[in-house]
Amino acid sequence: MDNFEKHIRENASEFDEHKADRSKMWAKISQELEVQEPKVIPLWKSPMLRIAASLLLLLGLAGFIGKQVFGSSVETQYASKELLDIDMHYKSLVSYQVKLVQNNPNLSNEDKTEFLSFMDELDAEYEQLRIEMQNNLDNERVLEAIVSNYKQRIELIENLLKQINNSKLNDDDYGYTL
């Protein structure tokens, strides 16, 4: 630092030549400070409001949880009743037709086991859908999937039976032409 710099730094106070308009500036500062401060704090400083807010929060939470528990239980009851009806209907249909296939003398053991393995696959799928149903994930879609699972089984059985009948018919026709 040279002499010039030292001289200025030592006499820096001489550069303060202006006087601030104190009252005018303070008026604006205090106005800003007043506007900002009381906004948030006093609400939470009042114990009554604090209790009220806590109560409101508790009520809200209780209501929400209650609705979740109660509402969902009614829904699952309703859904499982519907499911039970569908289940009963299709189960009897499927088991009847499975019996038909099993008792059919025109089917080889190989065909029967192949058919039953298909049925097992669909059974497994059905079990998974039931678990899904318990988890309450979009009931309607799971229900639809269960129905389509049953329909596939019935279609499978019907196709099989049609095949058996067709082959019978073919045999008869063949016999006729001869």
The DSSP code for 28 is H
Q: Please pick, from the candidates 33, 40, 48, 178, the single residue that binds another protein as defined by CB under 8 A.
A: 33
Least spacing, CB of residue 43 vs another protein, in Å = 16
Task: Give the residue with the Cβ less far from another protein, 33 or 48.
Answer: 33
- Residues listed for the chain: 178
Structure tokens at 171: 């045999």
Q: Could you give the 3-state DSSP secondary structure of residue 18?
A: coil
Cβ neighbours for 101, distance < 8 A, ≥ 6 positions apart: 107, 112, 115, 157, 160, 161
Amino acid in position 121: E
Q: Closer CB to another protein, residue 35 or residue 178?
A: 35
Q: Using the rule CB under 8 A, give the single segment among 20-28, 45-53, 106-114, 123-131 that binds another protein.
A: 20-28
Q: Name the minimum Å distance from CB 49 to another protein.
A: 20
Of residues 34-73, those binding another protein (CB under 8 A)? 36-37
What one-character-per-residue DSSP string does 112-160 give? HHHHHHHHHHHHHHHHHHHHHHHTTSSHHHHHHHHHHHHHHHHHHHHHH
Residue count, binding to another protein (CB under 8 A): 28
* Of 22-30, 74-82, 88-96, 132-140: span binding another protein (CB under 8 A): 22-30
If one asks whether residue 178 binds another protein (CB under 8 A), the answer comes out as: no
Stretch near another protein under the rule CB under 8 A, chosen from 24-32, 99-107, 108-116, 134-142: 24-32
Separation of alpha carbons 74 and 68, rounded Å: 10
The sign one gets for the Cα dihedral 143, 146, 151, 152 is: positive
Nearest to 154 by CA among 100, 85, 76: 100
- Looking at the Cβ atoms of 21 and 172, the one nearer to another protein is 21
**Binder among 7, 48, 176, 178 for another protein (CB under 8 A):** 7
Q: Which residues bind to another protein, rule: CB under 8 A?
A: 2-5, 7-9, 11-12, 14-22, 24-26, 28-30, 32-33, 36-37
